[in-house]
Amino acid sequence: MPYQRELDFFCRLMNAMNIRTARFPRENPPLLLENAPDLSHEYAAVRSMFTGAARNTLYFVYNPFAFSYAYLLLPDTDDVLLIGPYMSDELSDQKIMSLLERHHMQPSLLPFIRDTFAALPQVPDESVLFALCSTLCDSLFGGMDAYEIVRTEDDLIFGGISQISPDETSALAEAATLLTLEERYEGERHLMHLVSQGHTHRAQMIIRQFSDFCMDMRTADPLRNTKNYGVVLHTLLRKAVENGGVHPLYIDRLSAQMARRLEGCRTIDECMQLFSSMVHKYCLLVKNHSMKHYSMLVQHVILRIDSDLTADLSLKAHAEALNVNPSYLSTLFKRETGQTLTEFVARKRIDNAIYLLNSTDMQVQTIAQYCGIPDVNYFTKTFKRLIGCTPKEYRQNVRKTDVKK
């Protein structure tokens, strides 16, 4: 199709806004409430809505239950592009109960409706979505004068539920709860797999969608609910990086830092930003510290190095501590890491020096001691060999760059 590139780009934009898109034949739309009793006529009504869609028309639909969606018939096909659904405002339990009463629906549907709404993304400023959809239609139909925009209302999705008996309502609510739980655990497994592989960008792409249906509203305080979700997410991330071959030594260091930052969040936005940062940092942990491809002997050596850079980290000291032949250990370490033990230790110490030069005002000789090289002249010589400048020159260059910014 000549417009496939524009369509793919639009769908990626929607995904970045956590708004789902779906393409399907208009004669066979997805049934949103699978296995709902006595809703065959409702499904027929939904199908009729799409089969009756006019060409070169963008439909914006508002449902009395306060969610919205958009759809259009793609040019030169019988396929519908569905955009949404999404919420323009958050619904409290009180609002939902008022809606249930107004539509003569069973109170037992409250958990089902609440969970349904909680899984939908919020779009507080619909003008942005409207502009993006209009831009897509400009490309699809050949300009703003080549199509029309229709705004309408419907009660197709939930309209028929008001006729369901109390027993059937309970069965529907129970089925919806089970479906939500299945989606939640599938989302958790997907996220954990991505993090365990260190796939930062893909994990961050799903984290917002993941939070939509995993955040239980267990207290009246939205911030506390978000932090509770953060605790769950943090636990999943720790387990994921452990599955990715990261030793608890590294996990514990990051875990304590993230736990303090989570409790220090003062707004929901701060929490959401932290969630993205958590995913990023735990993925980096896998990339930088995964040892699943190393033998146990080499893992022990690396752990001894990372746990105390000021210790005696010579080949002889490691061999004695692990009760192995020094020559064998040296050969094994080089084969598995691609570096000699001496090179590996030197790089770790200089990496730590760079961190301290960037984050503290300590004198160079003090930094050298914290890096396990008490001879400042040897420290400077090693630093220049690996980095290309002296520690003092490095710090000066960094601060000049910061001033320019």
Q: How high is the pLDDT of residue 174?
A: 53
> What is the pLDDT tens value at each position of the chain, 405 positions in all?
678 888 999 988 888 787 888 888 888 776 543 333 343 444 455 667 788 889 999 999 887 666 788 999 999 898 999 998 888 777 677 777 877 777 676 676 677 667 666 667 778 778 888 999 999 999 999 888 899 999 887 654 444 444 445 554 455 445 445 545 666 677 788 889 999 998 888 888 777 655 544 555 555 577 888 888 888 889 999 999 999 999 888 898 899 899 999 989 998 889 888 999 999 999 999 998 989 889 999 999 999 999 999 999 999 999 999 999 999 999 999 999 999 999 999 999 999 999 999 989 999 999 999 999 999 999 999 999 999 999 999 998 887 766 555
Handedness of CA 374, 375, 379, 385 (dihedral sign): negative
Beta-carbon neighbour count of residue 267 at 10 Å?
Answer: 11
Per the document, the length of the chain is 405
Bond from prior residue into 111 cis (ω within 30 degrees of 0)? no
Closest CA to 191 of 234, 255, 253: 234
What phi and psi values does residue 82 have, to the nearest 5 degrees? -100, 130
Give residue for tokens 């809505």: 49
Euclidean distance between CA atoms 67 and 180, whole angstroms? 18
Token digits of residue 351:
């990496």
Find where tokens 């387990």 sit: 239
Which stretch of DSSP H or E encloses residue 41? helix 40-51
- In angstroms, rounded to a whole number, what is the distance separating the alpha carbons of residues 335 and 293? 12
Amino acid 93: pLDDT = 73
Phi, psi angles (nearest 5°) of residue 70 = -135, 155
Which residues, at least 6 apart from 142, have a Cβ–Cβ distance to it below 8 Å?
A: none
With residue 72 as reference, give the H or E element that holds it. strand 67-73
| Cross-strand bridge partners of residue 71 | 59, 82
- Of 56, 74, 224, whose CA–CA distance to 148 is shortest? 56
Sign of CA dihedral 207, 210, 216, 222: positive
Number of H helices, E strands in the chain: 18, 5
Whether 272 and 227 have beta carbons less than 8 Å apart is answered as no
Three-state DSSP at 11 gives helix
Q: What is the structure's pLDDT at 115?
A: 67
Residue 210 pLDDT: 55
Contact by Cβ (8 Å): 370, 352: yes
12, 4 Cβ separation under 8 angstroms: no
Burial-class residue 391 by CB neighbours within 10 Å (0-12, 13-18, 19+): buried
- Kind of pairing between the strands at 57-62 and 148-153: parallel
Residue 39: predicted pLDDT: 39
How far is 18 from 272, CA to CA, in rounded Å?
A: 14
Is-above-0.95 flag for pTM? no
**Which DSSP string do the residues of 348-380 spell out, in sequence order?**
HHHHHHHHHHHH----HHHHHHHTT---HHHHH
